Amino acid sequence: MCKKTKTKLLKRKTIISMLTENPDIDLSPAQATQAFGLSMMTVAEESTLAPTEYHSLRFVEFLDMIGRAAQLKFDDTPMDHITPFPKKLYIVMEALLKAAELNPSMPDDESATESESDDEY
């Protein structure tokens, strides 16, 4: 029998506030809700878990939501087509980390392209 671990969840209201009230992210409530909703994974046991799962995100879902928020922030703006996605992602991550009083750092280009994976794939 598998031992269940207690998963930390981030509530929907908190996430929407993070994305709409931070002036460096500045998503509309509709955009923040879209990022939240699209990042949610399928709930296997809807009858028992739905009340909790549909109003919060797990860590991996939160990471997905950050990427979606980064894309939505730049949609239909002049910066959309000239800013690469990693830079968009960095801008949103920087804003989130600064709100948590942490200092982000952008990796240099060489370390970002290094990989330990095989070239065969």
Distance of CA 51 to the CA centre of its chain: 22
How many other β-carbons are positioned within 10 Å of the β-carbon of residue 23? 6
Q: List, for residues 38-76, the tens digit of each pLDDT value.
A: 998 877 776 666 666 778 888 999 999 999 999 999 999
pLDDT at 35 over 90: yes
pLDDT band at 94 (very low <50, low <70, confident <90, very high): very high
Among the listed ranges 41-50, 77-86, 95-104, which one has the minimum average pLDDT value? 41-50
d(CA 25, CA 20): 7
Residue 1's pLDDT is 40
What is the percent of the chain where pLDDT is above 70?
A: 75
d(CA 71, CA 58): 20
